[in-house]
Amino acid sequence: MEGRRILRLEQRRADLRFPLPDRFAERVANARIDRLARQAKFLAAYLSTGEVLVMHLGMTGRFTIAGGQPGSFHHTTGGALAHDHVVFHMEGGETVTYNDPRRFGFMELWPAEHFGAYPRLKDLGPEPLSNGFSAAYLDRALAGKAAPIKAALLDQSIIAGLGNIYVCEALYRAGISPKRLSRSVPGQRAARLAPAVNAIIAEAIAAGGSSISDFAATDGALGYFQHRFDVYDREGEPCKHCGSIVKRIVQSGRSTFYCPACQR
DNA sequence: GCTTGGACCTGATTGC
DNA sequence: TGCAATCAGGTCCAAG
């Protein structure tokens, strides 16, 4: 999409998680996408109109690309799917379709000039794999915090971009109990946790992400990281390291999987 | 100010 | 087979 114009946008319902922008189709019609970027789990398309189209996949959102001229970037999909909510008709003939059964995703337009004030992005913490994220940063960010470390790692204002799966996997890799209070992590544990977070994210990206049930790349291919989970969704199975039984608990309403023997 | 839990929504799976 | 209950990758907001 980068460098191409959106010839026409087809909006098939009024809202996703939030209402779609007012006059959405009109505001993006004929706009060129000057730059496509990602921040944490947010996608940002900088438009030639001076607005930024912010997109989030929620839990079940996906983009698929179809059509186009022979020889151009082209993926075939299985045809029209239920829950195709927004279709971008691109210069060159491709269609880029946003599908999202649960509609936890969203799309918003925001002036590029004031993008720094965009509320959903302005309080994000540093991303794993960035210079701002390190054991020293964790020491500072977790100091004095009472919430369990599992909840702190899911907090996007502390670290941006980690979800439930990768938090479980990173804590296992670092040998830290998800129930441990955040304030007891700084020091040696943070020194193990920071590289564990980076390793999990890097490996997951290299494997093409995780497919629980409906994740897919733009060509419909599934991610493969889920074949490497050490603890996530492995309740009752033996720990790959020590053979103890992997446990599942609920923290802040989310499932946590961990090895009670390896993670202290 | 910090933390937790419910809400948002549909579909797949499990258990009766 | 059919139905109801439960659970799922994220974020926001109200209540405690």
Give the CATH number of domain A135-258; options: 3.40.50.300, 1.10.8.50, 3.30.300.20, 1.10.3720.10: 1.10.8.50
For strand C, give the nucleotides within 7 A of a protein CB. Answer: 7-12
CATH 3.20.190.10 domain locations along chain A: 6-122
Task: Provide, in whole angstroms, the distance separating residue A151's CA from nucleotide B4's C1'.
Answer: 10
Q: What is the DSSP string of chain A?
A: -TT-BEEEEEE-SSBSSSBPPTTHHHHHTT-BEEEEEEETTEEEEEETTSEEEEEE-TTT-EEEEEE--TTSS----SS--TTEEEEEEETTSEEEEEE-SS---EEEEEEGGGGGG-HHHHT--PPTTSTT-SHHHHHHHHTT--SBHHHHHH-TTTSSS--HHHHHHHHHHHT--TTSBGGG-TTHHHHHHHHHHHHHHHHHHHTT---SSS---TTSPPP-GGGG-SSTT-TTSBPTTT-PBPEEEEETTEEEEE-TTT--
Q: Which nucleotide is nearest to A253 (CA to C1')?
A: B5
Q: Is the CB of A120 under 7 A from strand C?
A: yes
pLDDT tens, position by position, A9-31: 999 999 999 999 999 999 999 99
pLDDT tens, position by position, A60-119: 999 988 887 654 544 444 344 789 999 999 999 999 999 999 999 999 999 999 999 999
Task: Provide, in whole angstroms, the distance separating residue A147's CA from nucleotide C8's C1'.
Answer: 24
Task: Provide, in whole angstroms, the distance separating residue A180's CA from nucleotide B1's C1'.
Answer: 21
pLDDT tens, position by position, A160-181: 999 999 999 999 999 999 999 9
CATH 1.10.8.50 domain locations along chain A: 135-258
Residues 203-262 of A with CB under 7 A from strand C: 209-215, 223, 253-255
Question: Regarding the domain with residue range A6-122, which homologous superfamily does it belong to in the CATH classification?
Answer: MutM-like, N-terminal (3.20.190.10)
* pTM, 2 dp: 0.92
